[in-house]
Amino acid sequence: MSNLRNVSFNDLFAEVKRRYECTKRPAMNVIMIGPPGSGKGTQGPKIKDDLCVCHLATGDMLREAVAKGTELGKQAGDIMKRGDLVPDELVIGLIENNLSNPECERGVLLDGFPRTAVQAEKLDQMFVSKQMSIDRVLEFAVDEDVLGERIEGRRIHQASGRSYHLKFNPPKVEGKDDATGEPLMHRKDDTREALGKRMASYHRDTKPILDYYRQHGNLRTFNATAPIKEVEGHIEKALYSNMI
């Protein structure tokens, strides 16, 4: 509590107002699933703000661990650079440790997790124990021919996970994050070589879990090859229209 005394009145008031507005939104837990470059990183921050949920992106958390040189980062760095999946227990631990964050009180947006059947099963167990439910699974279905260009031109703001594209979604100032002005970076695994591996793992490990969610009736699939604004519309419909 005491650290709130250091927050300016305007910031505190804006945050109270934001949280009050959030109470009018439906509380929801959402999973985003899609291949690399399908737009999860672009749409995630918008969905997070719209639903007032926390955004748990395992790729962002791992990149942060690599940048900080933590034990987890040392274990994950080379695996990520190659485009392979890091061991299940490492990412499961990340989600477990963050699911109870105060920011996740109104729900959670999972980005890049679960990616394997083991992770999906473990997530079910975590949700049951916390009396949470998976309300929507959003499948970003994309024409794979566009992915090479999308990831080669992708630039990210490491601290926030905000995503840009040199051609399709450029920042206001070249090379700088719109919100903070901090430099953007090109991910080490955003290469055509690593993309091949990441796609293979998407087809082998991740696609089967879509069938599982399809059977449970909460999967929504939409065309993520469309322009960003159009995808936003698909997502809005997927989130707010009634379940089938």
Assess whether 150 carries a catalytic annotation. no
Cα–Cα distance, 125 to 115 (Å, whole number): 16
Assess whether 187 carries a catalytic annotation. yes
Cβ proximity to ligand AMP: between 71 and 174 the closer is 71
Residue 49: strand, helix, or coil: helix
Active-site entry in 48, 63, 115, 155: 115
Alpha carbon separation from 159 to 100, 101, 141, 205 (Å, rounded): 21, 18, 27, 28
- Tokens for 172, please give them: 């206001």
The residue number with the shortest CB distance to ligand AMP is 59
Assess whether 18 carries a catalytic annotation. no
- Residues near ligand AMP (CB under 6 A): 36, 58-59, 62, 79-80, 83-86, 91, 112-113, 115, 119, 189, 198
- Tokens for 72, please give them: 């987890």
Active-site entry in 48, 63, 155, 198: 198
Q: Shortest approach of ligand AMP to residue 189 CB, angstroms? A: 6
Assess whether 5 carries a catalytic annotation. no
Active-site entry in 136, 154, 162, 220: 154
Cβ proximity to ligand AMP: between 72 and 235 the closer is 72
Assess whether 40 carries a catalytic annotation. yes
Cα–Cα distance, 116 to 206 (Å, whole number): 5
What is the maximum span of the chain, computed from C-alpha positions, in angstroms? 53
Q: Shortest approach of ligand AMP to residue 80 CB, angstroms? A: 4
Cβ proximity to ligand AMP: between 53 and 80 the closer is 80
- Known catalytic residues? 40, 115, 154, 187, 198
